[in-house]
Amino acid sequence: MNKLSNMQQILKQQQVDAALITDPHNVFYLTGFNSDPKERLLAVMVFAQAEPFLICPAMEAPDAKAAGWMGEIAGHADTQDAMEVLYRTAEKRNQPMQSIAIEKAHMTVDRYDAINRYFQSPEIHAIDDQLNAMRVVKDESELDILRHAAKLADYAIEVAAQKMNEGMTEIELMTEIELALKKRGITHMSFDTTVLTGPKAASPHGKTGERKITRGDLVLMDLGVIYEGYCSDITRTLAFGEPSEQAKEVYEIVRHAEQAALDAVSPGITAAELDGISRTVIEEAGYGEYFTHRLGHGLGISVHEFPSIHGGNNMPLQAGMVFTIEPGIYVPDQVGVRIEDDVVVTEDGYEVLTKYPKELTIITR
């Protein structure tokens, strides 16, 4: 309920009467109830001066209670106008509702029209930035979950190292990884697991496919799990058999670029500075043109959230922020390497959540 109190404080400060939160990730963040309602309405309505309520499909009400939601639940049936049920529930609180905050990047126009109709054209405020600012700093219980999610990502790479073999396709290796995770209770990955082998690893948009692992390949794996609603995200590039000299050289450059950025993480440094540190290592080694993406992205309930770690983001980092550091070098048709860790900013530096070793692993079997 602490997060909801913070939300309420924000409304009071900004003199907004109420907020209607409909992004399922934000609803989960504020209420603990994690659900994807598809086209149906799921929302939490927070008031500056009254108790919040949750609105969800009636059949999901027991799940919301089981998830720990102690407040009022307004259930709606498919035969009802969910926005009308919302309005009736809000109305009973006898609160002013002249100004309502919404997530403009999530709310659809038809719901926006319905708000204007039922609440009689209130002042509409955007609450996106405030929610992003709340979510960007993780508390201890969130960090514990993220640590565990990262451990499972490490485990996935261990499984891959054990299972990969000559002639195995990328899809087969991906399947082995996901099978092992399912046996540990992971039902959803945070994004489609990527396995790219040999020259395919040099294509940042390559798709996991039917190419077979060949001796001498680098095997790039990018994956993550969803654990208790939070995401991990790891990339490791392993060698199957002895790699080329060029591959080894590129690998070491990426490893140094990644470590240099990690070592610089502490409160006060900006995202742009971090990006610059990794990029400089790669540029000075002569591969600057082949590092074609940002250094990293925030990580939490969403696999891509704030802060974005790129050259244009001059936001100073704060303790409790969690993000990826993932430099890469992609020389078309030749060699591709990326190394990615999940890292949290601590009071005096950083803690790396993903721990699979980064010295080049060469699989010889």
Chain residues binding its own copies by CB under 8 A are 38-39, 59, 63, 79, 102, 104-110, 112-113, 124, 126, 128, 171-172, 174-175, 179, 182-183, 185, 187-188, 192, 205, 208, 304, 312
Report helix, strand or coil for 192.
coil
Give Cα separations from 63 to 75, 121, 165 (angstroms). Answer: 12, 33, 43
Give Cα separations from 182 to 166, 177, 221 (angstroms). Answer: 24, 9, 18
Does residue 307 have a cis peptide bond before it, meaning omega lies within 30 degrees of 0? yes
Residue that is written with structure tokens 């540990």 in the block: 184
Q: How many angstroms separate the CA atoms of 365 and 362, rounded?
A: 10
Q: How many angstroms separate the CA atoms of 30 and 131, rounded?
A: 10
Query: Cβ of residue 334: shortest distance to its own copies, in angstroms?
Result: 20
Query: Cβ of residue 57: shortest distance to its own copies, in angstroms?
Result: 10
Cβ–Cβ < 8 Å for 15, 5: no
Contacts 24+ apart (CB under 8 A), 201-206: 201/237, 201/330, 201/335, 201/336, 201/337, 202/330, 202/331, 202/332, 202/333, 202/334, 202/335, 202/336, 203/330, 203/332, 203/336, 204/292, 204/293, 204/328, 204/330, 204/336
Residue placing its CB nearer to its own copies in the complex, 60 or 341: 60
Residue placing its CB nearer to its own copies in the complex, 133 or 179: 179
